[in-house]
């Protein structure tokens, strides 16, 4: 039975279609690719009936309108007759798009968490990562050791501060009850937190303030004061104190650690020089946007033919945004001291990204004959990254292992993930070998979604390597290790910020 006739029968319930001999045009089921909008070239004017309820039908391919079929090897699990409400409810139901929706919803949450983590790397300078000892950075050995030493101290102070904040949160509810002992213990926690802030500020600015005994003496006196308060509370005992005995024990432990830190913290630590974070925020926001739009697309592409086209446009827009935004941290930090090259590459990829968006909005480009053009534009957009990365890896750096080579491994893992995912998706592997066996889990589209999230995370790891490198060494590595023609050609320039 032709697909169109069976779909009409399933949707309209007309049992007389076959008996009255009405002719129906046979429309072949076509495989849908990532750059072909479902129904874009289809003149079939059938629409699925909107479903007023939260629970609608999940049908096999024989009962599904042709515009909804995105892979002819996926034989079941199609959401037929779903309205907006039904599609929303289907997020929590089992069908052939459930994995596609949730893989990118979970990925979106993960990248939101990475935005928060990136923000924390500049807070008071204590979140900066320590560069590995084996990196070749162009800095002299003494400076490398100073950076490593100061970074480890900042990490120790960050742990102290996190522990004290946890104690402070634990105390909060008990203090609200009006206990005198509780208020005293709470004041001790705040005093110790102030000490960690003082130490963090010293380690951030790198000023030689601790060479002056006055500042160190002030912190010593502060700790002595808190020690006396804790001792008095412990001696007083009683029911009022017993409720806070555990918190007092933890505070005394942190007090001893801070006493040691005050005595041994370096007088003149290497100062913090964090570079701009906006390229990282741009990439992470692009990842969040792409993954969220993909989840929205797979949720509501079943509502109707016109709505499906709109959803796929949003999906393509998210893909373009993710590709373009991924370039910004890599290019900005790689060419941090080469503004000419940085401007050239970022302008080029942004321009290509705008061009790649044209097929997603112009109606004329939605026809099937332009599918190869759309695919070529997106492939060209992603392939543009070969030039800035390979320029640094193969034509610039003379000594390894540098941070560039360290990040290059993660970039290669990202490329393998994207390319293999796209290849499996285009070839419809593994479902083409066993049609119907991977309808709900394990089809090429599911695999592609997981690889997209994984590859974006690989790119984040590479970007963090560049960020760590620039935070700690700015332009020193470039000045010492770059090929002479960068300098002779007047390309090199220290950034103004």
Domains of the chain: 99-120+276-488 (1.20.1070), 138-264 (1.20.1440)
What pLDDT was estimated at residue 48? 41
What pLDDT was estimated at residue 27? 40
Which of 56-65, 267-276, 391-400, 488-497 is least confident?
488-497
Q: Is 487 annotated as a binding residue?
A: no
Round the average pLDDT of the chain to a whole number and report it. Answer: 77
58-86 per-position pLDDT tens digit: 788 888 888 888 788 888 889 988 889 88
Residue 185 near residue 247 (C-beta atoms within 8 A): yes
156-201 per-position pLDDT tens digit: 888 898 899 888 887 776 665 566 777 788 888 889 988 888 888 8
Q: Is 73 annotated as a binding residue?
A: no
What pLDDT was estimated at residue 40? 38
**Mean pLDDT of the 312-329 span:** 91
- The enclosing H or E element of 215 equals helix 213-236
**65: which 2 tokens?**
């309108």
Higher per-residue pLDDT: 435 or 399: 435
Other beta carbons within 10 angstroms of residue 252's beta carbon come to: 16
Percent of the chain's residues with pLDDT above 70: 73
What pLDDT was estimated at residue 99? 95
- List, in order, residues 6 or more apart from 255 with CB less than 8 Å away: 192, 223, 226, 227, 230
- List, in order, residues 6 or more apart from 147 with CB less than 8 Å away: 130, 131, 139, 270, 472, 473
**Mean pLDDT of the 49-54 span:** 42
327-356 per-position pLDDT tens digit: 999 999 988 888 888 899 999 889 888 888
pLDDT at 101 exceeding the cut of 70? yes
Q: Is 449 annotated as a binding residue?
A: yes
Q: What is d(CA 114, CA 201) in angstroms, rounded to the nearest whole number?
A: 25
User: 355 pairs with which residues across the strands?
Assistant: none
Which of 143-147, 396-400, 456-460 is least confident?
396-400
21-39 per-position pLDDT tens digit: 433 334 444 434 343 333 3
pTM: 0.71
**319: which 2 tokens?**
């893909």
DSSP β-ladder status, 78-80 and 57-59: antiparallel
């Amino acid at each position: 039975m032709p697909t169109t006739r069976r779909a009409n029968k399933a949707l309209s319930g007309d049992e007389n279609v076959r008996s009255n001999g009405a002719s129906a045009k046979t429309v072949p089921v076509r495989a849908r690719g990532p750059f072909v909008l479902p129904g874009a070239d289809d003149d079939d004017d059938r629409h699925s009936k909107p479903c007023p309820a939260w629970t609608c039908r999940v049908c096999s391919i024989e009962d599904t309108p042709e515009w909804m079929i995105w892979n002819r090897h996926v034989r079941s699990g199609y959401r037929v007759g779903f309205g907006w409400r039904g599609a929303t409810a289907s997020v929590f139901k089992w069908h052939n798009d459930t994995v596609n929706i949730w893989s990118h919803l979970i990925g979106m949450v993960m990248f939101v968490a990475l935005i928060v983590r990136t923000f924390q790397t500049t807070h008071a300078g204590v979140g900066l990562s320590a560069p590995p000892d084996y990196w070749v950075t162009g800095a002299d050995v003494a400076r490398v050791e100073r950076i490593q030493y100061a970074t480890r101290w900042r990490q120790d102070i960050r742990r102290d501060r996190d522990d004290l904040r946890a104690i402070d949160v634990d105390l909060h509810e008990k203090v609200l009850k009006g206990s005198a002992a509780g208020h005293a213990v709470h004041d001790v926690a705040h005093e110790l937190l102030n000490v960690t802030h003082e130490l963090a500020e010293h380690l951030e600015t790198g000023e030689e303030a601790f060479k002056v005994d006055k500042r160190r003496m002030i912190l010593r006196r502060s700790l002595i004061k808190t020690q006396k308060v804790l001792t008095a509370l412990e001696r007083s005992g009683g029911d009022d104190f017993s409720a806070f005995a555990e918190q007092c024990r933890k505070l005394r432990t942190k007090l001893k650690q801070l006493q040691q830190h005050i005595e041994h913290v370096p007088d003149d630590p290497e100062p913090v020089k964090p570079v701009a974070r906006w390229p990282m925020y741009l990439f992470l926001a692009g990842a969040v946007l792409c993954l969220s739009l993909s989840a929205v697309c797979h949720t509501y592409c079943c509502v109707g033919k016109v709505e499906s086209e709109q959803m796929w446009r949003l999906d393509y827009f998210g893909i373009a945004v993710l590709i373009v935004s991924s370039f910004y941290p890599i290019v900005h930090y790689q060419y941090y001291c080469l503004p000419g090259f940085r401007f050239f590459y970022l302008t080029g990829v942004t321009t290509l990204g705008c061009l790649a968006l044209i097929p997603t909005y112009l109606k004329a480009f939605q026809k099937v004959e332009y599918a190869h053009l759309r695919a070529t534009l997106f492939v060209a957009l992603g392939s543009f990254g070969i030039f800035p990365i390979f320029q640094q890896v193969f034509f610039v750096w003379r000594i390894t292992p540098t941070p560039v080579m360290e990040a290059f491994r993660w970039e290669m893992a990202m490329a393998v993930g994207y390319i293999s995912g796209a290849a499996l998706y285009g070839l419809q592997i593994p479902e083409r070998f066993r049609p119907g066996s991977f309808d709900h889990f394990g089809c090429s589209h599911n695999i592609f979604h997981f690889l997209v999230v994984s590859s974006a995370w690989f790119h984040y790891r590479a970007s963090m390597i560049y960020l760590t490198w620039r935070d700690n060494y700015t332009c020193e590595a470039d000045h010492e290790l770059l090929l002479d023609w960068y300098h002779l050609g007047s390309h090199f320039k220290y950034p103004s910020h």
